[in-house]
Amino acid sequence: MLKNDLFLRAARRERTERTPVWLMRQAGRFDPQYRALREQADLPLEATFRQPDLCAEISLLPKRFGVDAIVFFQDILTPLAPMGASFVFRPGPILPEPLRTHRDIASLAPYDVADELPFVADTLRRVRKELDGELPLLGFAGAPLTLAFFLIEGRSPGLKPEATLRMMDREPALLHSLLDRLADLTADYLMFQIEAGADAVQLFESTAHLVSRAQYEEFAHPYHVQIFSKLAGRAPTILFVKEQPLVELMADSGADVLSVGVCVDLAEACRRFGQRVAFQGNVDHQLLLSGSMEEIDEAVRSCVEAGGRQGHILNLSHGLLKDTPVESVIRFIEAARTLTFDTEPQAVAAS
């Protein structure tokens, strides 16, 4: 039994006394305590991810802010290394030899996640032990298409992922062969996290904004369905799709919770699909970077109201940016915690 089960109750579309809140990338670069731990460890990022003690400590940092869920510290590219695609971070992710040909993709080796990624399970177990039932623990993975963008481009895809888009157009069968491999791996990886103690898992389609609806339907959606069908009934599942208003496709994916960006009218999405799925989001992550405290308060109020006070988890449109002020993150969380549903919403005290 969790002491704070707001997140899981909302994921099950149950009514809660207030909207639970957490933030994507809440354990990361914006936090000076995170930067201090990284400096003290003096390790490359790809080596940091393999240190369960350090990753557990980083994962738990946001607990001091009052979040309603802890997401474990790791990277979406981690499960690619045992396949033969090891990224280094200098500072962004770099794959020295991108995958562009049939031979490249055929060279990717299948593997047993428990054998090759024991540090992931170790991190989850350590975080769960430290939480001692206080908060739910979230796992996550990159969606197949997002991972494919990184593998084919050999780096963060940016806004012009020419090699991947060219493969979509000229060699779709080759891309599907890669996506099939990645979907099997991702389902196994998320199941592995659930077995290690994750109370819920999120699938990140972080490159959805780079493709058209037709490309999303062909190269993203079928693999979401494939993954969530294998996870059905094991733990609540969340699908994050970056800035694509494809709520009807997301709702058909099999995910229990849909994490949507600012391009989606949250109130309308809840009205149309709220009997089938819960929703997560969708305050603009840029607002926490540059908005005033009053603007943050108002954005939180508006989002909570749009979420309908049931089956809604407050979050951002995407992950926290590295220069986001800590004070803005705290204000966002405090504003959410103030809006209880058994009383009239109260104004957040000025800081």
pLDDT for 97? 95
Tens digit of pLDDT for each residue in 303-350? 999 999 899 999 999 999 999 999 999 999 999 999 987 634 444 444
**C-alpha closest to that of 84 among 51, 56, 117, 109:** 109
Q: Looking at residue 1, what is its pLDDT?
A: 84
| pLDDT confidence of residue 309 | 86
| Residues 77-86: tens digit of each pLDDT | 999 999 999 9
What is the fold of 6-338? TIM Barrel (3.20.20)
Q: pLDDT category, 65, cuts 50, 70, 90? A: very high
Per-domain residue ranges for the chain?
6-338
CB of 48 closer than 8 Å to CB of 96: no
Structure tokens at 123: 């991190």
- Tell whether the model's pLDDT for residue 39 goes beyond 90: yes
What is the predicted pLDDT for the residue at 342?
60
Q: Burial of 133 by CB count in 10 Å (0-12 exposed, 13-18 middle, 19+ buried)?
A: exposed
Taking the model in full, what pTM does it have?
0.95
The structure tokens listed for 250 are 């997301």
Identify the bridge partners of residue 204 per DSSP, sorted by sequence position: 142, 240
Cβ atoms 43, 67 nearer than 8 A: no
Alpha-helical segments (H) within 136-212: 144-153, 162-170, 172-195
Q: According to the model, what pLDDT value does residue 111 have?
A: 98
Question: Does residue 220 register a pLDDT over 80?
Answer: yes
For residues 161-188, give the mean pLDDT: 98
Which DSSP letter does residue 127 get? H
